[in-house]
Structure 1
């Protein structure tokens, strides 16, 4: 029997991308899945896909940037299931542009979308997660570790996710909760190469590509989802993909000048 069989797993941002892929992987392993996202029509389509694959899926629309929605979703899950064995915070978005072109309002919007969504959902589901001694998975980015050029306010919002996750890991380990930060490179999407067309007029064309022009192959979301579940089962503290980027992260911390040079060389523009 699968480790995830009958476990209650909540995935925010579950209507597309990596969130949907994680839901798919959980469905294949017999989990009871709760998908949440802002847009009802996309959420319904995602839930129908997982149900056709044999998954037990509940779809609850809600915007994790709004406390009222977060509280409502958490209350509905608690009433229906009485437990949560995994919360995977996938909700968020990225952007392109020069750091100086990003206004304070741009930074606030990205912090709300990428960081405060994680804080709100984590706090709302923490009692159920602690009771189950389950898994809290916060999806960051390679931009949680490195701040490449031409990504606007995005790295600041993802660095915040990394810091918050480390704090939770240190504070909650003795209570048995597994807390993991996931830092993937660019995920393959149908709109890769075009989704930033309206942004960043002042940045090189190559920076509109996945990973802001990083010389990294886009990652298959289903492959990444399988990696996330395996890392959860091993109760790993972090998952960085591709793993070779860890060396650049370490170098950037120890010798920032060398790290900056290598980061410039490993991205286009």
Structure 2
């Protein structure tokens, strides 16, 4: 195993990281883009510079790393897995720019999959809900001046969902690579809301409003 420190939003850094990997292992079978940053706040208060930072962390990093890895992945018919979120598929309140960039990541993943399939490279998306772990009290920058409910600071923005076991999420990523699954949504029961949203966005919004931060 080797460890490389790099800026995932820098094309030079990502290319160098891939070079170092190939020097050590001579092949690359999978890339998991797990770099990301969340946010809290109202859209009316969203600062444009903050949104750019979120794009860099959640979208540009995945783009740069994927571009650097694709030549090697074509040689092994490997896989790319992007870590999205339930916010890649629905838009709860008070998540600031996070919903915007996670939707963008989902769109990029779908386009990459359509373009890379001919070269034998699988591109999948894993969309987990809130994950259990040690979360700092003010991890998302929610304070008295943020103008959002206090429960929005919780993982998942206050969504009424049981926290996912990180091991289960890791196993989903492995399944996405090995079985070449296109998209995995966690927990599975949230797929129902995605289906309702496709048929009746108004009903889906009402359900979401009852199941997330108010």
Using structure 2 for the length normalisation, give the TM-score: 0.94
Q: Deviations over 1:223-259 (max 9, x none)?
A: 2112221232211101100111112112223211111
Q: CA deviation at 1:62?
A: 0.8
Does the CA-based 8 Å contact 1:192-1:210 persist in structure 2?
no
Which structure: greater strand fraction? Answer: 1
The separation in 1 between residues aligned to 2:160 and 2:74, in whole angstroms, is 40
The separation in 1 between residues aligned to 2:175 and 2:66, in whole angstroms, is 21
Provide structure 1 residue ranges, at least 5 long, that are not aligned to the other structure.
Answer: 1-56
**Per the alignment, in what secondary structure is the counterpart of residue 191 of structure 1?**
coil
Matched, 1:89 2:21: no
Q: Deviations over 1:166-218 (max 9, x none)?
A: 11111222221111101000111212554235456210011111100001111
Match of 1:241 among 175, 186, 189: 186
Tell me the residue number matched to 1:129.
73
Q: CA deviation at 1:80?
A: 2.3
Q: Deviations over 1:68-90 (max 9, x none)?
A: 21122122122222211010000
Tell me the residue number matched to 1:107.
51
Larger RCO (CA within 8 A; separation ≥ 6): 2
Tell me the residue number matched to 1:158.
102
Q: How many matched pairs?
A: 213
Question: Which structure 1 residue ranges, 4+ long, deviate > 4 Å from structure 2?
Answer: 197-200
RMSD over aligned Cα, in angstroms? Answer: 1.5
Match of 1:224 among 157, 169, 177: 169
Tell me the residue number matched to 1:178.
122
The separation in 2 between residues aligned to 1:126 and 1:197, in whole angstroms, is 35
